[in-house]
Each structure stands twice: as structure tokens, then as C-alpha cells.
Amino acid sequence: MSAPRVVSLAPSATATVAALGGADRLVGVTAHCDLADEPNAGSAHGEESPTVVGGWLNPDLDQVAELDPHVVLTSDALQSDLADACREHGLDVAHREPATLDDAVDGFAARGRDVGRPEAGERLAADARGRLDRVADAVADRPRPTVYCEEWSDPPMAAGNWVPDAVCAAGGRYPFVDAGERSREVDPAAVERADPDRVVVHVCGHGDRVDPATVGERDWVDAPVHVIDDSLLNQPSPALLEGVERLARLFHPDAFSVADADDRT
């Protein structure tokens, strides 16, 4: 059986398929998907690269249908209506809505099944759990700093979904949004009362191109401000594991200095 033709309308799904070694199955992606490091994407179907079919919320579904995909990948509640519209076009859709860190990791295996690489999906999920276990061991029994994570700055929004889990997995406390809840506008007074030890800024769509002073100069912020590439925290893709590891080293640098030294001996 030939490899399935896949159209990914979600950047997180595209990144996950690439991590599964399935980038060559992608015949269509959105303008927001990043395959710069996957030069062979689309080559299994005789294409130099996948066709860009529009934005992640407003793709051209007629163009998607013309690509004759076996499956269209969508993700997040914001794409649920889009998933329905794809089905109305007669397209088979694999829609996933991860809300927590566990959901995101389980989703790696699910995406493997979606694109005909189930074993690769299971391996990717197992690797992710192993990485989380290693972080947990490194930060165990250490004081947990209180952390405020900002996903959007106008208005300021405290990050939700899997970010509270990511902070906890990295050895921090996150009293602003419960894991699995959507990101929401934050009350500055609530941040002041929580008195965070660290502020992490990962503005959606801005990468790491945010001046930390724009947050640090607020009269309700009194903590070091760290800017992290938003792709490491805002996407339920394998990049999220790098995000957890980055946070853990930020919160507990001594723990990883010791661990890294042990690895070298």
C-alpha cells in the first residue's frame, strides 16, 4: 500500500508528523506550518514540497480537496468548525483537541495512527514520557518557584491548556490557570498577590521576538522576565518537551549542572 497523502491544517500536527518521520507524506500544509528543516517533505508523492493551502483558520478547502488527501489533520477547539467544513467537502478528518500535557503526549501516538506510522507514534510518545521522567527526577524535592506565563500581552493573558502542566513538570508552581483550561485575561492584582518568582513570556506568533522590558516595566510585575520562543510552549507538538526542559533549567539551573556533570562521568 502506498503512503497516505496527508494535508495538515494545524502547525502542531505538521511538526508532529515531521517528528514521526512522515514529512514525505504531507501534500498540503498551511502558511503557518514550518517545514524548513524537512527538505524531503512531499517527495514520496513526487512533489518538491507540500502545497500551501492558506492560513490555519482560513484554508482554501477546494484546494485541499484537489490534493486528494487520504486524511486531513486539524487540532484545537478553534479548528473544530473547520474540521466540520472539511467533512462537508467529503474529506476524511482526524481532529484532535489536546488540553493537557498528558493529552499532548498521547496525541503523538494518535498522530502516528492518523498518518499510517503507528509504531513511530508509540516511540515518540514513549520518548516524550522518558524525557518528562528525567526532568521530574532532576527537580524532585527542590523548592518550587511561583511562575507567571503570559501567552498574549494586549491584553495580558495567562497561559492555560498544557502550560500549567509544563510549569509543574519543570518544577514550578502555577496558580493562575488550571491545567486544561483555556488561556484567559489576567487580573494584574492577582499576579501581584501571587508574587511570582519568574515571569515567562511566550507571545503567540511572535517566536522569541518580544522585548522583556515591555512586561518587566509594568507596575504589577516584580520578578525576572524571560522570553521563550512561543513554539516551545504554545504548540502541543514534540517541541513542548524542549519547552519543559527549557523551563526546568531556568527554574533549577543547579539541578541540571549536577545532572550534566554526572552524564559526562
* pTM: predicted TM-score of the whole model, two decimal places: 0.90
Mean pLDDT of the chain: 92
263 has pLDDT over 60 = no
Domains, in order of start, for the chain: 6-97 (3.40.50.1980), 147-264 (3.40.50.1980)
pLDDT, tens digit, 9 for 90 and up, residues 4-28: 999 999 999 999 999 999 999 999 9
**More confident: 167 or 35:** 167
Q: Name residues whose C-beta falls within 8 Å of residue 194's C-beta, 6 or more positions apart in sequence.
A: 146, 148, 175, 176
- How far apart CA 95 and CA 73 sit, in angstroms, is 6
Phi first, then psi: give them for residue 25, nearest 5 degrees.
Answer: -90, -10
Phi first, then psi: give them for residue 197, nearest 5 degrees.
Answer: -85, -25
**More confident: 258 or 219:** 219
